[in-house]
C-alpha cells in the first residue's frame, strides 16, 4: 500500500520527537561480534562500490544512521558496535553481502538504490523474519521490506527553475542546459524530467542536452562530457549520477576559476562546499536535496518502536523529503523568493509536475529526444 509520508505514520512533530529521542539516547556498548547483545537497534548499511564517501546519495544515508545514534561523521563512536557499512565492489557481491548481514543478525539491513532490488528480492524472500529497507524502490513487495521513494521530480523542477532564473538574471538570451545521469532508471528519469520542466517554465524554447554515464563511479567520464558541453555554450549542468557527478563539479570549478560563467547543480546532498574554488565562491549554484536521512530515521525508529512493516512510503516536497539549497549567495533573494512561491504552489497542488518521460512528452514544448527512460 502506497502512502504519503505525512499520512503514513508520523506528523512532522512526531518525527522530530522520535529523532530527538534517538539522538539523545545513551546506547550501551556490546562486543562487535555480537551486535544484538546490547538490546539496542543494530543496522548494517550496504552500498554500491562508491560507498559513503560519494558525497551524495550514500553519504546522506550514512548521515541518517549517524543522527539516529547521536554520532557524527568525525566521531562515529558506535560504528562496529551498533552499526556499520559494507560497500560492494561489484554487483556480484550484492547477494553475498546481503546474506552475510542477514546471518550476522542485524535488526535491520539497509540497501541504497534500485540496483539492489533483484538481490534484495532474492535474499529477503528467503529470510522472512529479517527486516530490510531499500531506498528508491517501490516494487519489492515483501512483508519484511520497507521501501522508501522520493518525489525527485518536484525538487528537480526547482533547481531547473533556479538555473534558468539565474541565466535570465545574467542576461543570457538563449541559454543551453545539460543533464548527466548515472544508470538509466525510472528514478533518474524523475530527476531529469523535473529539471527540464523547471527550465521550460522560464525559457519555453530552451535547448537541453542529456548524457548517461551508465556508472555511478566514473567522474572522469562526466567531467569530459561537462567540459565538452561548457565549451559548446551550455550554461548549467545538473548531474544525478552519484559519485560520477563529482566530475561535473570539478569541471565547473575549473572553468569558473578561469572566469567562465558556467554552473554545476548538485544532487542528493548540499554540494555547495564541494564546489568551492576559493574561500567564498562555489561553482555549485544550488543542489537538489534529497533527504535520504529521513527514510533512515523513519525506518530505525520503526524498528525501535516495533512498528516496522513492509510498506511503500513517499517522501515528497510537502513532507520535506526533497528541496533545494540556497547556500550559494549567487542565488539571489529575488530568485529564492520566486522559488519559494513556486514551491508553495507545488505543495498546494497548484502546479503539477510530470514524473515520467512518457507523461512529460505530452507537455507543450517538452523535448522529444531525451535519453530518459519511458515508464
Q: Residue ranges per domain, the chain?
A: 2-151+291-315, 152-289+322-360
DSSP β-bridge partners for residue 312 = 2, 147
Using DSSP bridges, classify how beta strands 83-87 and 234-240 pair: parallel, antiparallel or unpaired. unpaired
**What residue has cell string 560504528?**
79
Q: Are the CB atoms for 161 and 198 separated by under 8 Å?
A: yes
Q: Can you read off the three cell numbers belonging to residue 257?
A: 576559476
176: β partners: 207, 234
pLDDT given at position 375: 61
First to last CA, the chain: 20
Euclidean distance between CA atoms 276 and 328, whole angstroms: 10
Same fold, 2-151+291-315 and 152-289+322-360: yes
Question: So what's the pLDDT on residue 35?
Answer: 47
What is the predicted pLDDT for the residue at 357? Answer: 93
pLDDT at position 22 is: 35
**Into which CATH architecture does domain 2-151+291-315 fall?**
3-Layer(aba) Sandwich (3.40)
State whether the Cα torsion 25-30-33-34 is positive or negative. Answer: negative
**Which of the four CATH numbers 3.30.413.10, 3.40.50.300, 3.40.50.2300, 3.50.50.60 does domain 152-289+322-360 have?**
3.40.50.2300
- Give the span between the Cα atoms of 45 and 244, in whole angstroms: 21
Q: Which residues contact 172 (CB under 8 A, 6 or more apart)?
A: 235
CB atoms within 10 A of CB 352: 10
Q: Please give the pLDDT value at position 56.
A: 82
Task: Please answer whether residues 40 and 27 qualify as being in contact, where contact means their C-beta atoms are separated by less than 8 angstroms.
Answer: yes
Res 372: pLDDT = 84
- H-helix or E-strand spanning residue 189: helix 186-200
pLDDT along the chain (375 residues), means of 10: 38 38 31 44 96 89 96 96 96 97 97 94 98 96 96 98 98 96 93 98 97 95 98 97 95 98 95 94 97 94 96 94 96 98 98 95 92 76
C-alpha–C-alpha distance, residues 210 and 202, integer Å: 19
Q: Residue 9 has what pLDDT?
A: 37
Helix or strand (DSSP H, E) at 230 = helix 219-231
Amino acid at each position: 500500500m502506497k502512502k504519503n509520508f505525512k499520512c503514513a505514520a508520523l506528523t512532522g512533530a512526531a518525527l522530530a520527537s522520535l529523532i530527538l529521542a534517538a539522538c539523545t539516547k545513551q546506547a550501551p556498548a556490546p562486543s562487535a561480534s555480537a551486535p544484538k547483545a546490547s538490546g539496542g537497534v543494530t543496522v548494517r548499511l550496504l552500498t554500491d562500490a562508491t560507498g559513503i564517501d560519494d558525497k551524495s546519495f550514500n553519504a546522506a544515508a550514512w548521515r541518517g544512521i549517524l543522527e539516529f545514534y547521536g554520532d557524527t561523521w568525525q566521531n562515529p563512536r558506535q560504528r562496529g558496535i551498533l552499526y556499520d557499512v559494507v560497500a560492494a565492489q561489484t554487483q556480484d557481491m550484492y547477494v553475498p553481502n546481503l546474506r552475510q548481514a542477514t546471518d550476522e543478525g542485524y535488526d535491520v539491513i539497509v540497501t541504497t538504490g534500485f540496483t539492489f532490488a533483484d538481490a534484495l528480492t532474492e535474499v529477503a524472500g528467503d529470510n522472512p523474519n529479517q527486516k530490510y529497507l531499500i531506498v528508491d524502490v517501490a516494487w519489492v513487495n515483501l512483508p519484511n521490506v520497507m521501501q522508501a521513494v522520493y518525489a525527485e521530480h518536484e525538487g528537480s523542477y526547482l533547481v531547473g527553475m533556479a538555473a534558468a532564473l539565474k541565466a535570465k538574471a545574467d542576461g543570457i538570451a538563449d541559454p543551453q542546459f545539460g543533464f548527466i545521469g548515472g544508470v538509466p532508471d525510472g528514478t533518474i528519469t524523475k530527476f531529469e524530467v523535473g529539471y527540464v520542466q523547471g527550465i521550460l517554465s522560464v525559457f519555453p524554447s530552451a535547448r537541453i542536452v542529456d548524457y548517461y554515464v551508465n556508472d555511478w563511479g566514473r567522474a572522469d567520464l562526466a567531467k569530459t562530457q561537462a567540459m565538452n558541453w561548457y565549451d559548446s555554450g551550455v550554461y548549467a549542468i545538473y548531474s544525478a549520477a552519484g559519485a560520477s557527478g563529482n566530475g561535473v563539479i570539478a569541471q565547473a570549478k575549473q572553468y569558473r576559476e578561469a572566469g567562465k560563467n558556467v554552473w554545476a547543480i548538485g544532487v542528493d546532498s548540499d554540494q555547495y562546499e564541494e564546489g568551492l574554488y576559493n574561500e567564498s565562491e562555489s561553482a555549485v549554484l544550488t543542489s537538489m536535496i534529497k533527504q535520504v536521512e529521513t527514510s533512515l530515521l523513519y525506518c530505525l525508529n520503526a524498528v525501535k518502536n516495533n512498528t516496522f512493516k513492509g510498506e511503500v512510503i513517499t517522501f515528497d516536497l510537502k513532507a520535506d523529503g526533497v528541496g533545494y539549497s540556497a547556500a550559494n549567495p549567487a542565488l539571489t533573494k529575488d530568485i529564492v523568493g520566486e522559488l519559494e512561491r513556486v514551491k508553495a504552489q507545488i505543495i498546494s497542488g497548484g502546479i503539477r509536475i510530470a514524473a515520467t518521460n512518457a507523461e512529460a512528452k505530452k507537455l507543450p514544448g517538452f523535448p522529444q529526444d531525451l535519453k530518459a527512460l519511458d515508464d
